[in-house]
Amino acid sequence: MARSTADTTNESFRHDSSTLTERIAANPEPALRWAGVAAVLLLLELGAFLGGVLTLFHAAVLGVTALLEVSLGAVSSGLGEAAFGFQTDALASISGVRDAAQSIPTLLSRETISNQGHMVGPNGPWTGTFLGLEPAYAWGIRVVLVLVYAFVTAYWLFRGWLVFRNHYRQADWTPTDDIINRLRDHRWGQFGIAVLVVFLTLALFGPALGPTTVQQNIKSPYAEESQIEYFSDDTGSVETVFAGKANFDSKSKGPNQNVGPMTYDDYGRFHPFGTLPNGRDLFTFMMGGARISLIVTGLAIGLASFIAGALGLISAFYGGTTDLAVLTTADGITSVPRLLLLVMLSAVFANHWLGSVLDGGFLLALIFGFTGWPLLWRAVRGPALQVAQEEWVDAAESFGQRPTLIMWKHMFPYVMGYLLVYASMSAGGIVVSLSALSFIGNGLGITAPTPAWGRAVSLGQSYVAGPSWHIALIPGLMIVILVMGLNAFGDGLRDAIDPETKGSDDGDELAAGGGA
Amino acid sequence: MSNAIEREQTAASGETLVDVQELKTYYGGDGFFASPPVKAVDTVDFEIQRGETFGLVGESGCGKSTLGRTLVQLEQATEGSVSFDGTDITELSGPELKQWRRNAQMVFQDPESSLNDRMTVGEIIREPLDAHDWKTKADRRERVTELLSEVGLREEHYFRYPHQFSGGQRQRVGIARALALEPEFVVLDEPVSALDVSVQAKIITLLEDLQAEFDLTYLFIAHDLSVVRHICDRVAVMYLGKIMEIGDTEELYENPQNPYTQALLSAIPRPDPSVTIDRITLPGTPPSPRDPPQGCQFSTRCPAKIRPEAYADTDDEIWHAVEQLREVVRERSRMSLSTTDQLRKRLDRFSRFDDIEETVTDLFGELSVPQSVEDHVRHAVELVKDGEPKAAQTYLREEFGGVCDTTRPGHHQVSAAGRESYCHRHLDEYEDTTTVLANYVDGA
Ligand code: SF4
């Protein structure tokens, strides 16, 4: 604990009218050093970053305009059309920029370190791969580099905060320091953070990680550009074939036909996780699934946390009837079985284009968000009520602070921790539910052929006891690890925020004249 | 805090700043299934002069904090008015209320809870200025540094967090925040009771200095009577939402007139040990403010309570036992019955309150109880055993209750300086409190 008495004089105190920019200008060296490295890191992967950010932006614009269109369309069809028009234009321009961004070459891209090539003769050598290496090694190098890059970047972001704290922050110590320090000693929590970093990397760099692309291998394997070259033992020369045809011959269907983890198929393609029963590459499938799973989970949990946080603060601050109204709504929502709601809404929106945003994921995120908040709300209501009792809230009220600001400045910082803890823990639940929906299939979950983890488990279900065990087991394990990581992160955060509740020692009032 | 220090007289101007009339603040009781409201402040009248320090004392739960909070509009008054400089502030809302809030600020009791731990001291003190868009940003910072030194802190404390301060220093921050908007009136809600004794005196001195410097008017809420004597010009003593006695501090302390004030003051150690005033020990605990007595609020515990005519000559011990029985019955009537007990009551099988017999034996066993008293006691006991303690309570009140039980007293002027006391004993027909209490102490 960096607790110090206020009586010690503080040398680093500078008279304070300076802004952050002025402080950096006065002592630019640490900031520049940090920014230099950060710039290099960014440049290395600029295309991928921009692409990732723009993909998210694309989804957000799509979602918001979709809601606008649906709600405006309900009022008048003209307004709905207008919204739709705007949406089409906006999305087109975003996609344009995104495609341009993604064409910027990046160091760790599949083009730079390629694993897609073919042998020129029966025993090699390989051509088209990175340094002529075997595809397995080329792929391995790329994956390791991407992960290293991701961890270095994550650390560098944290490092940026340290630089700010040590050189530019005006306060010597803030309560956040304690939380961070405690998290630094929390191995289990760090495991959670590491898992999150890995999965975010999978989602963000998915296209660069897979041995092939979703487009070529899964979505349009018979497209003109989805042809691959390979050395054919039959003809003794290099041949060209559609990926779809190659997939057809690379199925994993138990003892008779199987392409297991870390093996090559007959077309010289490397499959780190083996293939699916339809011959597609499981690893590529999982990467695609990571992106959609994390986006949907993130949207859902973000939406739920936002509603839960706002309503928690409002119900604690105003109490009484407001609290009761929220409570009733929350109970009403939890009393509707979620599966029933999902089935119904999926049916209702089956042919509406809203149901196709993010391959159906957007609708799922909305449903999970709007049905998930009561749980989080219940978790934060207690702490919110407690902080609403604090005298500083009264104090703020007594000088006429606006209620919104009171909730934001004086209550939210105390509730945010709990919100994060419970959000990360329920995020695990959403991941599992999403997979379960895709597992059930039948119009629920993410629309095929877009990859979804649950579908992989479902596809591999009948081959669990046999050589094709990998189809169900690997996706299952990945789900387990992600859920565990989310829980670990939540645990770590909770311990960091609330190490142990310190006992309160409110002395009894000396009741004068109260007698014995 | 040593009470040997002479009280400094602050300059009261004789001009009324706060005028409280018929003020009631009730909590709850507005829902459909709600229990009766808590009558935290129950019809209170007083005035505070510009520039004075007005004390408000009483046991915890007597409503003094609620009264203070109502005066700064942290609590909505149920009825009555609070006029501040001629404006009834209970009527204000929206922008007018916000504007008015600059005039009246509050210093809170618990320095641990009154400062937001996630903000720096500078931000905390600056927040009222920000909320009112006070001048420019640079001016606000300037003002905060000024305030820091006003309350005895240093400029470099601006970027520290409350965590890094001691209780006394935190309270100084709270005071600086209250003064930021240059208010005229400050409610000090037990500002030193959570602090170490050594620090209390320093904070009191600081408050006095600030009052002199900025012409502040204070409402000083406390349960520590000696602090009040030191700092307050006038004082009001509260019990169960009602002002029992109100007047000049010195006079009230020297010569209390109300039975409650006397009991309260008898409990504090005297500076002069040769003057021995016996400590008056009050029986029982204050009744619930949800269900205050029908007559005088203090009547369930008052050592000077007036007996009805018919029992004027009853033996003191027997009378005492009757009063205690009434207290027991009162407690019983507060208990809520379970559903099973309700059912048993219907079926005449109710037995949960049968132990009342033992109580009666304990209270009356040794005494020779006159038939007239005995009959009524028996009747009441039967009612309790039938599960009707409320009826028993009413029965006992009607039989043994005097004027204190049935009628609310008025405020009577008890000194030339205008001190008032809330007690029937000031009426000519009853014996004077001081005499009665002297006997009571002798008898005990
Ligand atoms: S009115 Fe009766 S009960 Fe109340 S203080 Fe006076 S004597 Fe006591």
How far from each other are the two terminal CA atoms of chain B, in whole angstroms? 31
Average pLDDT over residues B157-182: 93
In the sheet that holds B420-422, the strands lie side by side as: B104-107, B185-189, B217-222, B53-57, B234-239, B242-248, B420-422, B411-413
A332 contact B CB<8A? no
What is the pLDDT confidence band of residue A512, given thresholds at 50, 70 and 90? very low
Tell which residue, A332, A326, A338, has the closest CA to residue A429. Answer: A338
Report the residue from B59, B101, B283 with minimal CB separation from A511: B59
pLDDT of residue B4: 39
pLDDT of residue A16: 52
Question: In chain A, which residues have their Cβ closer than 8 Å to the Cβ of B169?
Answer: 6
* Residue B189, domain member (yes or no): yes
What distance in Å separates the CA atoms of residue B396 and residue B405, rounded to the nearest whole number? 10
| 3-state percent breakdown (helix, strand, coil) of chain B, nearest 5 | 40, 15, 40
Most confident of A241-245, A405-409, B319-323: A405-409
* Residue B57, domain member (yes or no): yes
Average pLDDT over residues A353-360: 77
User: How many residues are there in chain A?
Assistant: 516
What distance in Å separates the CA atoms of residue A228 and residue A216, rounded to the nearest whole number? 10
| B187 conformational bin, left if phi > 0, alpha if psi -120 to 50, beta if neither | beta
pLDDT at residue B439 tops 90: no
* Residue B428, domain member (yes or no): no
* Residue A409, domain member (yes or no): yes
Q: Do B131 and A399 touch (CB under 8 A)?
A: yes
Query: Any idea which residue has 């009555």 for tokens?
Result: B80
Tell which residue, A310, A304, A333, has the closest CA to residue A322. Answer: A310
* Residue A498, domain member (yes or no): yes
Q: Are A362 and A63 in contact (CB under 8 A)?
A: yes
What distance in Å separates the CA atoms of residue B296 and residue B313, rounded to the nearest whole number? 23
Q: Looking at the structure, do residues A423 and A312 belong to the same domain, yes or no?
A: yes
Atom of ligand 1 nearest to the CA of B433: 7
- Of the listed ranges A478-487, A494-503, B185-194, the least confidently predicted one is A494-503
What is the pLDDT confidence band of residue A6, given thresholds at 50, 70 and 90? very low
pLDDT in tens, B252-297: 999 999 999 998 888 776 666 555 567 788 877 888 888 889 899 9
Mean pLDDT of chain A: 84
Strands B79-84 and B234-239 turn out to be: unpaired
- A231 three-state secondary structure: strand
What distance in Å separates the CA atoms of residue A291 and residue A206, rounded to the nearest whole number? 7
A20 contact B CB<8A? no
* Residue A428, domain member (yes or no): yes
Tell me which of A201 and B387 has the higher pLDDT: A201
* Residue A305, domain member (yes or no): yes
Q: Are B168 and B195 in contact (CB under 8 A)?
A: yes
Most confident of A348-357, B54-63, B355-364: B54-63
Q: Do B116 and A410 touch (CB under 8 A)?
A: yes
- Distance set, CA B41 to CA A17, A333, B45, B62, B213 (Å): 46, 41, 11, 8, 32
Beta bridge partners of A323: none
Which domain CATH number covers A468? 1.10.3720.10
Q: Which of B92, B159, B185, B285 to mutate to test the interface with A (most CBs of A within 10 A)?
A: B159
What distance in Å separates the CA atoms of residue A252 and residue A300, rounded to the nearest whole number? 34
**What's the pTM?**
0.81
Q: Looking at the structure, do residues A254 and A305 belong to the same domain, yes or no?
A: no
Backbone phi, psi, residue A495, to 5°: -65, -35
Q: Which of B75, B107, B110, B118 to mutate to test the interface with A (most CBs of A within 10 A)?
A: B118
A171 contact B CB<8A? yes
Among residues A280, A301, A333, the one where a domain terminates is A280
Q: Searching chain A, which residue's CA lies closest to the CA of residue B263?
A: A513
* Residue B409, domain member (yes or no): no
Q: Looking at the structure, do residues A240 and A334 belong to the same domain, yes or no?
A: no
Q: Looking at the structure, do residues A273 and A362 belong to the same domain, yes or no?
A: no
* Residue A115, domain member (yes or no): no
Q: Looking at the structure, do residues B19 and B163 belong to the same domain, yes or no?
A: yes
Q: Looking at the structure, do residues A376 and A501 belong to the same domain, yes or no?
A: yes
Name every residue whose Cβ is closer than 8 Å to that of residue A360 and which is 6 or more positions away in sequence: A346, A445, A446, A447
* Residue A395, domain member (yes or no): yes
Tell which residue, B17, B37, B18, B19, has the closest CA to residue B241. Answer: B37
pLDDT at residue A352 tops 80: no
State which amino acid sits at residue B102.
Answer: R
- Distance set, CA A417 to CA A334, A424, A482, A491, A497 (Å): 24, 11, 21, 11, 7
Q: Do A399 and B265 touch (CB under 8 A)?
A: no
Among residues B213, B239, B265, the one where a domain terminates is B239
pLDDT at residue A354 tops 80: no
pLDDT of residue A45: 83
Q: How many domains does chain A have?
A: 2
Q: Do B159 and A171 touch (CB under 8 A)?
A: yes
Q: Searching chain A, which residue's CA lies closest to the CA of residue B118?
A: A175
* Residue B414, domain member (yes or no): no
Q: Which of B89, B160, B281 to mutate to test the interface with A (most CBs of A within 10 A)?
A: B160
* Residue B96, domain member (yes or no): yes
CB atoms inside a 10 Å sphere around CB A501: 6
CB atoms inside a 10 Å sphere around CB A419: 22
- Of the listed ranges A215-224, B89-98, B203-212, B289-298, the least confidently predicted one is A215-224
Note the helical H segments in A361-411. 361-388, 391-398, 403-405
Residue closest via CA to ligand 1's atom 4 equals B296
Q: Are A412 and A366 in contact (CB under 8 A)?
A: no
Q: Looking at the structure, do residues A254 and A383 belong to the same domain, yes or no?
A: no
Q: Looking at the structure, do residues B14 and B115 belong to the same domain, yes or no?
A: yes
Q: Looking at the structure, do residues B331 and B234 belong to the same domain, yes or no?
A: no
Encode B373-393: b = buried (16+ Cβ within 10 Å), e = exposed.
beebbeebbebbbebbbebbb
Average pLDDT over residues A135-151: 91
How distant is the Cα of A408 from the closest Cα of chain B, in angstroms? Answer: 12
What distance in Å separates the CA atoms of residue B45 and residue B420, rounded to the nearest whole number? 11
* Pocket probe mutation, ligand 1, options B237, B298, B411, max atoms within 8 Å of Cβ: B298
Q: Is the omega angle on the peptide bond into residue A374 within 30 degrees of 0, that is, cis? A: no
What is the pLDDT confidence band of residue A5, given thresholds at 50, 70 and 90? very low
Q: Looking at the structure, do residues A416 and A463 belong to the same domain, yes or no?
A: yes
Q: Which of A176, A392, A401, A406 to mutate to test the interface with B (most CBs of B within 10 A)?
A: A392
Name every residue whose Cβ is closer than 8 Å to that of residue A503 and which is 6 or more positions away in sequence: none
How distant is the Cα of A316 from the closest Cα of chain B, in angstroms? Answer: 16
Q: Looking at the structure, do residues B110 and B232 belong to the same domain, yes or no?
A: yes
Residues lining ligand 1, CB < 6 A? B 259-260, 296, 298-299, 302, 304-306, 404, 409, 423-425
Average pLDDT over residues B180-201: 93
Report the residue from B73, B128, B223 with minimal CB separation from A509: B223
Among residues B239, B258, B291, the one where a domain terminates is B239
Q: Searching chain B, which residue's CA lies closest to the CA of residue A170?
A: B159
State which amino acid sits at residue B417.
Answer: A
Q: Looking at the structure, do residues A265 and A407 belong to the same domain, yes or no?
A: no
Q: Looking at the structure, do residues A275 and A226 belong to the same domain, yes or no?
A: yes
pLDDT in tens, B307-351: 888 888 888 888 888 888 898 888 888 777 777 888 887 777 777
Mean pLDDT of chain B: 87
Tokens of A101: 């961004």
Question: In chain A, which residues have their Cβ closer than 8 Å to the Cβ of B280?
Answer: 513
pLDDT of residue B13: 64
Note the helical H segments in A76-186. 77-102, 135-163, 175-184
Report the residue from A171, A392, A410 with minimal CB separation from B161: A171
pLDDT of residue B441: 57
Report the residue from B163, B263, B268 with minimal CB separation from A3: B163
pLDDT at residue A350 tops 80: no
Q: How many domains does chain B have?
A: 2
Q: Looking at the structure, do residues A268 and A300 belong to the same domain, yes or no?
A: no
What is the pLDDT confidence band of residue A510, given thresholds at 50, 70 and 90? very low
pLDDT of residue A516: 31
Tell me which of A128 and A281 has the higher pLDDT: A281
Q: Are B80 and B23 in contact (CB under 8 A)?
A: yes
Q: Are A495 and A501 in contact (CB under 8 A)?
A: no
Residue B162: exposure state from Cβ atoms within 10 A (0-12, 13-18, ≥19): buried
Residue closest via CA to ligand 1's atom 1 equals B423
pLDDT in tens, A13-66: 444 557 888 888 888 999 999 999 999 998 888 887 787 788 778 877 877 887
Q: Searching chain A, which residue's CA lies closest to the CA of residue B140?
A: A17
* Residue A453, domain member (yes or no): yes
pLDDT at residue B8 tops 70: no
pLDDT of residue A12: 40
> Could you give the ipTM of this predicted complex?
0.84
Question: In chain B, which residues have their Cβ closer than 8 Å to the Cβ of A170?
Answer: 158-159
CB atoms inside a 10 Å sphere around CB A193: 18
Q: Are B358 and B379 in contact (CB under 8 A)?
A: no
| B33 conformational bin, left if phi > 0, alpha if psi -120 to 50, beta if neither | alpha
Which domain CATH number covers B87? 3.40.50.300
> Which range marks the domain in which residue A245 is found?
217-280
Q: Looking at the structure, do residues B235 and B314 belong to the same domain, yes or no?
A: no
What is the pLDDT confidence band of residue A227, given thresholds at 50, 70 and 90? confident
Host H or E run for residue B124: helix B121-131
> Which range marks the domain in which residue B336 is found?
309-401
Q: Looking at the structure, do residues A272 and A351 belong to the same domain, yes or no?
A: no
Note the helical H segments in A263-360. 282-318, 320-335, 338-348
pLDDT at residue B2 tops 60: no
Q: Looking at the structure, do residues A316 and A437 belong to the same domain, yes or no?
A: yes
A122 contact B CB<8A? no
Q: Are B44 and B76 in contact (CB under 8 A)?
A: no
pLDDT of residue A8: 37
Q: Do A398 and B138 touch (CB under 8 A)?
A: no
What distance in Å separates the CA atoms of residue A385 and residue A406, rounded to the nearest whole number? 14
What is the pLDDT confidence band of residue B352, given thresholds at 50, 70 and 90? confident
pLDDT at residue B406 tops 50: yes
Q: Looking at the structure, do residues B131 and B234 belong to the same domain, yes or no?
A: yes
* Residue A436, domain member (yes or no): yes
Among residues B183, B215, B239, the one where a domain terminates is B239
